[in-house]
Chain A
Amino acid sequence: MGYDRDLSFVYFGPTKIVFGAGTSRDVDIEMAGLGCRKALVVTDPGVMKAGLVEGVREALGERCAGVWSDVPQDTGIGVVNSAAAFAREKGVDCVVSVGGGSVIDTGKGICILLMEGGGLENFEGIQLLTRPQTPHIVIPTTAGTGSEVTCMAVILDERKGQKMLIVEYFNAPRIAILDPKMTERLPPLLTASTGMDAMTHAVEALQSLSREPIADGLAMQAIRLLHRDLPVCTENGADLAARGQTQLAATMAGWAFGNAMVGLVHAMAHSIGAIARVPHGIANGILLPHVMAFNRDDAAEGYAMVAEALGVREKGMDEREAAEAAITAIRSFLERIGHPLRLSEVGVTDEDIAKSAALSLSDGAIVNNPRPVLDEEEVIAVYRAAF
């Protein structure tokens, strides 16, 4: 394995994992274990409508001080500030997030404001906090984002019209409860696209300039589990065993990319998401094999590991051949799970591509891409290949 002899890194992953069907009902026990007495449940209207909050609220009983269910698809500073004001009124000392990435990132923002005061606009930056923040319990309702175990939050600054990144070790969730029943009713396309979000986290962690052995191990196992169980979930959403394994895979991929970072797929997905409103997981899934082809010569070792995890690295293959096999396998996998294959299928236009390419070059994810991205034309070529 080609790690530098002077390899030096920090691995950070303090979140306790509670796993199993029905474990979301243990939220009160976990909360008591943190020494907390009053929780704000944070969620979104879709999760409320799906009836996923009711069980959590019942389990919390009197420990539930209130429910904030107004989180939009892309959360913003205004949302977090309003929710934190509501939380303060209720005197809460713990946040329980029930939902996907936007809900979890809202919860992270509320935790900072409950401890530090003020508005979230004052916390733009990296590692500014100097003490542990308000305890945060996360109950994901998708298997993809990995946000339940990362210390990052992406929040829209509505005034500037751009997304703000907050990275704080002191604000990683304390506990993630992975209850397969919470993802049981996800429709097949959402199951596939959130699963490809996790797959992309794992693949990009393995190709990252900041890759390291712990993250690599987590990414490899995440790919194995997704490869085996994501197709089961898209075919039969009620298979709780497969649902559980994809949740674990998403969490492992979250640890992997939370430490090793992501790359060009994410830079391009963020940009096409902002310009053409393509959902993040779908953009990641469509772009992944095309960016892998772009990076192939600079990431052959990492992609050979992807091939190994996907079970397509044959004896005698060199790294470049294995990398090629990995790219082919990812394409086949997308077809197998019924994931869109082309940007044109999801409403992207030719005009969107140029705008998105320019935006991609300013995305933080690009820093750790194995192949340096020199200009817009290179990014445009990848978008066109995926178009």
Chain B
Amino acid sequence: MAKYNAMTQEWLDAWKQKIATSKEYKEIAKNWEGSVSIIVNPDPEKGIPEPIYVFTDYWHGDVLDFLICDKAKAESARFVMSGDYTRWKQVAKKEVDSTKALMQGKLKLKGDLTYVVRNIKTVNKVIDLLCEIETIWPDEA
């Protein structure tokens, strides 16, 4: 299986492909509307010298843009999630539950929490599919 460097466009493309080809996702996410951005705070010691901005967009089971972007684009998303690299890595590896990470202040969310909760199965499925990608993390490379 191919390996991808985390938080690169290639990695996002692979993630998008996983989601787009998942029949289970298409069914679970049939009600989801809107974009989610991920902001990774800089952590030079872990190989993240600058913030990383990721924009992902979903619509009723379809997958739209999956982009490494700039700050303005990231902040235009319906949901903006931000946090330290270590936290994102824990979520991506399913070492930490994303809802718990939010409630405990390990990640921040700007947007309607009730909508996220209503669609928590969609959120969990997207993370499950991310876990299936062979990822090379900057601090493990």
Residue numbers of A with Cβ under 8 A of B are 9-10, 12, 124-128, 162-165, 167, 169, 210, 261, 361-364, 366-367
Tell me whether A126 and B100 are in contact (CB under 8 A).
no
B117 within 8 A of A: yes
Kindly name the residue among A9, A164, A362 whose own CB sees the greatest number of chain B CB atoms within 10 A.
Answer: A362
Residues of B with C-beta under 8 A to A12: 104
Within 8 A of A (CB), among B86-122: 99-100, 102-105, 107-114, 117-118, 120
User: Which of the residues A9, A169, A364, A366 comes within 8 Å of B113, measured between beta carbons?
Assistant: A364
User: Which of the residues A126, A164, A362 comes within 8 Å of B103, measured between beta carbons?
Assistant: A126
Instruction: Write 6 A-B pairs (CB below 8 A) sorted by A numbering.
Output: A124-B110, A124-B113, A125-B109, A127-B108, A363-B114, A363-B117
Residues of B with C-beta under 8 A to A128: 108-110
Tell me whether A127 and B114 are in contact (CB under 8 A).
no
Tell me whether A210 and B100 are in contact (CB under 8 A).
yes
Tell me whether B118 and A362 are in contact (CB under 8 A).
yes
User: Which of the residues A127, A164, A361 comes within 8 Å of B105, measured between beta carbons?
Assistant: A127
Tell me whether A126 and B117 are in contact (CB under 8 A).
no
Task: Give the CA-CA distance A165 to B111 in the complex, in Å.
Answer: 10
Tell me whether A366 and B117 are in contact (CB under 8 A).
yes
Closest Cβ of chain B to A162, distance in Å, is: 7
Task: Give the CA-CA distance A261 to B105 in the complex, in Å.
Answer: 14
User: Which of the residues B107, B110, B117 comes within 8 Å of A367, measured between beta carbons?
Assistant: B117
Tell me whether B117 and A364 are in contact (CB under 8 A).
yes
Residues of B with C-beta under 8 A to A167: 102-103, 113
Closest Cβ of chain B to A274, distance in Å, is: 12
Residues of B with C-beta under 8 A to A210: 100, 103
Closest Cβ of chain B to A45, distance in Å, is: 29
User: Which of the residues A9, A261, A361 comes within 8 Å of B118, measured between beta carbons?
Assistant: A361
Tell me whether A124 and B99 are in contact (CB under 8 A).
no
